[in-house]
Amino acid sequence: MKNYCFGIDVGGTTVKCGVFKIDGTLVDKWEITTNVENNGEHILPDVAEAVLGKISDMGIDKDDVAGIGIGVPGPVKEDGSLVAAVNLHWGYHNIVKEMEELTGIPTKAGNDANVAALGEMWKGGGAGYQNVLMVTLGTGVGGGIVMNGKIVTGSHGAAAEIGHAHVDDSITDPCNCGNCGCLEQVASATGIVRLAKEELAKTNLTTVLNQQDLSAKTVFDAYKEEDAVAKVIVDRFARYLGNALAVFTAVVDPEIIVIGGGVSKAGQVLVDAVQTYYRKNAFHTCKNIPIALAELGNDAGICGAAKMVLE
Amino acid sequence: MKNYCFGIDVGGTTVKCGVFKIDGTLVDKWEITTNVENNGEHILPDVAEAVLGKISDMGIDKDDVAGIGIGVPGPVKEDGSLVAAVNLHWGYHNIVKEMEELTGIPTKAGNDANVAALGEMWKGGGAGYQNVLMVTLGTGVGGGIVMNGKIVTGSHGAAAEIGHAHVDDSITDPCNCGNCGCLEQVASATGIVRLAKEELAKTNLTTVLNQQDLSAKTVFDAYKEEDAVAKVIVDRFARYLGNALAVFTAVVDPEIIVIGGGVSKAGQVLVDAVQTYYRKNAFHTCKNIPIALAELGNDAGICGAAKMVLE
């Protein structure tokens, strides 16, 4: 009888681990440090040790475990192979094969943003739906697409790489991906700071914002106080993101859009601003697709990873 | 034993019909007139009559027929229901249920552009692949997405409505869909004429083009002769379409892009022009996705419709 499963979310500094009952209850969660030394060669063995240690601590049998789900920060193909996780200095790995060899437990792997989307569909902002487009506004912009309850990986593990959707021909400095004019450059936390710097450099309006203390949070805080410059900045951000979401829904036509990541802590005002442009430019049958805030925060990854196993 | 299947492609003026062996061989094809009178109430009965008549003519048994696939010009949900086919003045129909009642033969239905994509995957420009993004450049711009060999319909039957992806905030006159700035307004046959008119109105360059005799064909013919104004027009078209395709592939990450429709008769020069912008702005793992020309022409619809049955 399989009573438990593990959900693992490999990040750049920590690996988040969760153990769930197969009914979906989170039993325990904890973190270990991500050891990126020697091109990340310790990462999977460390995760395996954490999982096997927890199984031992819980006094359960390996046969009690339905599987391990693991999300990693890079493109993952349907066969469970990671193309490359640049931030971890990881090259090609077959995550599934290696974890199964290390633990003897069936494993599924996915891209972290895709896995987070599955988590939000399961227990968060997308609960009750089977077709979810999630956009994560953090340091970068990530994305995840779930169709009929399953993660869409794409042919090269690059589906939902919507942070690198090209949205502006006039941007000439490069994104981390090497291209110029990506959504990430204007809609991430750093992208919002970019827009703010540009606006502050040219505005004559009075504002509480200043070049030294800019962040997505200070901009949205000022926006909530009806600061004139913050309004212009948020409007530009909302136009970029709302228009981009309108394009994405014309491609995959989800039931719901979920917005997560640190920037989304701005709350409903962010959704409202984005929705204005979304509704203006979305295809008519998609205009009323709801836009919701993510609800799971840092747990989205472990939840989605566990859900991969439970599917 | 099921030896045959039917592929039906309902268009605005004619319904294209094909009968195939289940190994995929096209046995016969013909057309009937699309009777749009009384909100299209005759369309499905006419198709049923055509199918049953052909079965009778061929001297085969209804039990010999694996099924009927039918493509219609409107959003079709996974349950086979048509939301509305505006051009046929059709409102809601459950195509599958109605055709099965009329013929007693199992039926599958799909959106015509999606079905054409499946056809091109099966026997045309996308042959050998299972993940295809097709864009059809005709009077409008249609799209179809096939993932793992199956049509992606979306939650409202609107997946791959990429002609209505928003690509330009500066366009203020409405698209047929009611929005402003859709890809269809700049990349369809009529969209290319729009770009040409704009360019002719402001250029000082010598050109063979003139306001009275503009079409996608005259523009591409002039482009092939290195006409200076045609170069500017095609470059604008290619930038819009190439950039948009780069966004679409960041969403669904296909193995191949197939370009069809009347405009694609311009041939490889069109692909080359579009590919320049595509490669510039596509996400790095998607830059080398091949862009191919469609090969089936008007048969894409009947082929894809038949393929729905054979899946």
Q: Which value does ipTM take for this structure? A: 0.94
Q: What is the pLDDT of residues A180-201, one digit of tens each?
A: 999 999 999 999 999 999 999 9
**Whose CA is closest to B83, among B75, B177, B95, B99?**
B75
Among positive and negative, which fits the CA dihedral A233, A235, A238, A239?
A: negative
Q: What is the mean pLDDT of chain A?
A: 95
Q: What is the mean pLDDT of chain B?
A: 95
Residue A82, pLDDT score: 79
Chain position carrying tokens 């086979």: B80
Read off the tokens for A302.
């472990």
- Min Cα separation B55/chain A (Å): 37
Contacts of A160 in chain B (CB under 8 A): 250-251
- Give the model's confidence band at B1: pLDDT under 50 very low, under 70 low, under 90 confident, else very high: confident
Q: Nearest residue of A to residue B179 by CA position?
A: A281
Q: What is the pLDDT of residues B263-272, one digit of tens each?
A: 999 999 999 9
- Give the model's confidence band at B113: pLDDT under 50 very low, under 70 low, under 90 confident, else very high: very high
**Letter for the amino acid at A21?**
K
Among positive and negative, which fits the CA dihedral B240, B120, B142, B134?
A: negative
**Partners of B33 in the β-ladder:** B14
Task: List the single residue in A158, A250, A286 with the smallest CB-CB distance to B283.
Answer: A158
Contact A283 B248 (CB under 8 A): no
Residues A187 and A244 sit within 8 Å (Cβ to Cβ): yes
Chain position carrying tokens 């001297």: B59
Contacts of A169 in chain B (CB under 8 A): 239, 243
Mean pLDDT in residue range B71-78: 88
Coil, strand or helix: which one is B119? helix
Residues A3 and A18 sit within 8 Å (Cβ to Cβ): no
Contact B285 A166 (CB under 8 A): no
CB pairs under 8 A between A and B: 139
To which H or E segment does residue A235 belong?
helix A228-252
Task: List the single residue in A152, A253, A281 with the smallest CB-CB distance to B181.
Answer: A281
Q: Read off the pTM.
A: 0.94
Per DSSP, helices labelled H in chain B are: 37-40, 43-58, 95-103, 112-123, 184-187, 189-202, 216-224, 228-252, 268-281, 300-310
**Whose CA is closest to A166, among A146, B273, A174, B289?**
A174
Residue B39, pLDDT score: 87
- Angle between helix axes A268-281 and A228-252 (nearest 10 degrees) is 50
Task: List the single residue in B155, B248, B250 with the smallest CB-CB distance to A254.
Answer: B155
- Give the model's confidence band at A141: pLDDT under 50 very low, under 70 low, under 90 confident, else very high: very high
Contact B281 A255 (CB under 8 A): no
Burial of A13 (0-12, 13-18, 19+ CB in 10 A): exposed
Task: List the single residue in B147, B155, B247 with the smallest CB-CB distance to A166.
Answer: B247
Residue of B155, B185, B235 for testing the chain A interface, max A β-carbons within 10 Å: B155
Residue A198, pLDDT score: 97
Q: What is chain B's percent helix, strand, coil content, to nearest 5?
A: 45, 25, 30
Residue A136, pLDDT score: 95
Mean pLDDT in residue range A239-256: 98
Q: What is the pLDDT of residues A86-134, one digit of tens each?
A: 777 787 788 999 999 999 999 999 999 999 999 999 999 999 999 999 9
Task: List the single residue in A251, A255, A283 with the smallest CB-CB distance to B155.
Answer: A255
* Distance (Å) of CA A135 to CA A74, A132, A142, A294: 16, 10, 6, 9
Mean pLDDT in residue range B81-101: 83
- The angle at the Cα of B155, spanning A107 to B110, to the nearest 5 degrees, equals 105
d(CA B89, CA B257): 31
Q: What is the pLDDT of residues A34-90, one digit of tens each?
A: 998 888 899 999 999 999 999 999 999 999 999 999 999 888 888 888 777 777 778
**Whose CA is closest to A304, among A30, A69, A28, A33?**
A69
Residue A74, pLDDT score: 85
Q: What is the total residue count of chain A?
A: 311
Q: What is chain A's percent helix, strand, coil content, to nearest 5?
A: 45, 25, 35
Residue A92, pLDDT score: 78
Contacts of B145 in chain A (CB under 8 A): 251-252
Largest pairwise CA distance in chain B: 68
Residue A80, pLDDT score: 81
Contact A283 B239 (CB under 8 A): no
Residue A163, pLDDT score: 96
Residue of B86, B274, B281, B283 for testing the chain A interface, max A β-carbons within 10 Å: B283
Residues A190 and A168 sit within 8 Å (Cβ to Cβ): no
* DSSP-assigned states of every residue in B144-159: EEEETTEE---TTS-T
B148: phi then psi, degrees, rounded to nearest 5: 50, 40
- The angle at the Cα of A181, spanning A87 to A76, to the nearest 5 degrees, equals 35
